[in-house]
Amino acid sequence: MALSVGIVGLPNVGKSTVFNALTAGKAEAANYPFCTIDPNIGIVPVPDDRMRRIEKHIKTQKVIPAIVEIVDIAGLVAGASQGEGLGNKFLANIRETNAILMMVRCFDDPNVIHVSGTVDPMRDIDIIDLELALADLESVEKRLKKAQGAAKTGNKDGKAELAVVEKVHAHLTAGKAARTLTLTEDETKVVATLGLLTRKPVLYCCNVGETDLPDGNAWSNLVRTRAAAEGAGVVILCGKVESELAELGPEDRGEMLASYGLREPALATLARECYRLLGLQSYFTAGEKEVRAWTIKKGATAPEAAGVIHTDFEKGFIRAQVYALADLEQFSSEAGIKAAGKMRIEGKEYVVQDGDIMHFLFNV
């Protein structure tokens, strides 16, 4: 499954700097380099040490990590929901993504003028949230009229939909993001058809100064508090530092990271945090041709996991051979795992675990 995350932010918050760092870095895996596939779309591998550990025991021609598609959304300004700036393009682009990476300026630099004159991350977040909520409100009001018409006919489903749309409308009118609205499973299905921008999960990306690494500052602490209240994620980074790291080889990169008290580039943390935010995990296939990570939702069954490779695998699923990385490291090979009785045979009901190594048997 393709994971797409849109970077949004006001002008001069470091959005483009971070996007360029994401798409200019030297990848560890040659098959999915950090690269730009469109003027505003980049493909970024999700760092996963487990693949290196698998490769130690299963010699392969290539290693293919899971990926995140990063979309650099046109800069937002107040009034975007009414078409100001590149408003309409902004809203159309963000509607296509799975999650929002909200770039927030948490640094002061007299050489980089803030669009509002002063640094205030809470105000900046409010501006973005308001524009997204206004856009949502406009689309919900259109749906509300349709739902009211359907409900008047006495249609049971129409009445149920109207109740849900009214609930969402009231929430948005109160100035609240749709992601903070508590919904039942049935209500969630209706809301999913509305394509709401403020329903998307949010990852706040606090762009701080070099001297504020690795833990951030008073501004980023405010963002952390807000994120905790919303159930959102937070990543602290310095766009300038990330740009420099992206241009270095592994050895020099390690030295620079250590000098800032960092264990890895923040962009690696960002990719993993996107996974967590969307409730995703990876399983692996491993053989002579490739060791590959596949992205699935947590709770996915074996047939659903097989379907990520090819829909025929899910349709014709018979069973899966499954083992853990710990077994591979203990017994050194799949033959050793089988001899030790650790190779499991799982059926259609099996719920795939994060990090499972799998082979599928299917019949087309």
β-bridge mates for residue 283, sequence order: 294
343, 359, 293, 268: which is closest to 55 by C-alpha? 293
What was the pLDDT predicted at 1? 60
Report the C-alpha gap between 113 and 61 in whole angstroms: 49
Q: 79: phi > 0 → left, psi -120 to 50 → alpha, else beta; which?
A: left
Q: What is the pairing mode between strands 202-208 and 99-106?
A: parallel
**Three-class SS string for the chain?**
CCCEEEEECCCCCCHHHHHHHHHHCCCCCCCCCCEEEECCEEEEECCCHHHHHHHHHCCCCEEECCEEEEEECCCCCCCHHHCCCCHHHHHHHHHCCCEEEEEEEECCCCCCCCCCCCCCHHHHHHHHHHHHHHHHHHHHHHHHHHHHHHHHCCCHHHHHHHHHHHHHHHHHHCCCCHHHCCCCHHHHHHHHCCCCHHHCCEEEEEEECHHHCCCCCHHHHHHHHHHHHHCCEEEEECHHHHHHHHCCCHHHHHHHHHHCCCCCCHHHHHHHHHHHHCCEEEEEEECCCEEEEEEEECCCEHHHHHHHHCHHHHHCEEEEEEECHHHHHHHCCHHHHHHCCCCEEECCCCECCCCCEEEEEECC
- Reply yes or no on whether the pLDDT at 328 is more than 90: yes
Domains of the chain: 4-119+201-277 (3.40.50.300), 131-198 (1.10.150.300), 299-362 (3.10.20.30)
Report the C-alpha gap between 284 and 60 in whole angstroms: 13
Report the C-alpha gap between 68 and 44 in whole angstroms: 5
What was the pLDDT predicted at 36? 46
Burial class (CB in 10 A: 0-12, 13-18, 19+), 110: exposed
Query: What's the token pair of residue 142?
Result: 């259109």
pLDDT tens digits, 185-232: 999 999 999 989 999 999 999 999 999 999 999 999 999 999 998 889
Arithmetic mean of pLDDT, 117-146 = 90
Q: What is the dihedral of CA 19, 21, 23, 28, to 10 degrees?
A: -140
Work out the pLDDT band at 336, boundaries 50, 70, 90: very high
Percent of the chain at pLDDT exceeding 70: 90
In angstroms, what CA-CA distances link 44 with 175, 282, 317? 34, 15, 31
pLDDT tens digits, 72-128: 876 665 564 555 444 456 677 788 899 999 999 999 988 887 777 889 999 999 888
Arithmetic mean of pLDDT, 153-173 = 90
Report the C-alpha gap between 200 and 195 in whole angstroms: 9
Report the C-alpha gap between 29 and 66 in whole angstroms: 11
pLDDT tens digits, 231-252: 899 999 999 999 999 888 888 9
CB 58, CB 290: distance < 8 Å? no
* 135 compared with 346, residue with greater pLDDT: 346
Query: What's the token pair of residue 32?
Result: 């999915």
pLDDT tens digits, 16-70: 888 888 776 433 333 344 444 455 788 888 889 999 999 999 999 999 999 888 8
- Reply yes or no on whether the pLDDT at 312 is more than 80: yes
Report the C-alpha gap between 2 and 215 in whole angstroms: 31
In angstroms, what CA-CA distances link 159 with 149, 150, 154, 166, 187? 10, 7, 7, 11, 12
- Reply yes or no on whether the pLDDT at 180 is more than 90: no
Average pLDDT, the chain: 88
The angle formed by the CA atoms of residues 259, 264 and 269, to the nearest 5 degrees, is: 135
CB 12, CB 124: distance < 8 Å? no
In angstroms, what CA-CA distances link 202 with 23, 42, 132, 144, 291? 21, 19, 12, 26, 31
What was the pLDDT predicted at 14? 86
Query: What's the token pair of residue 185?
Result: 């499973």
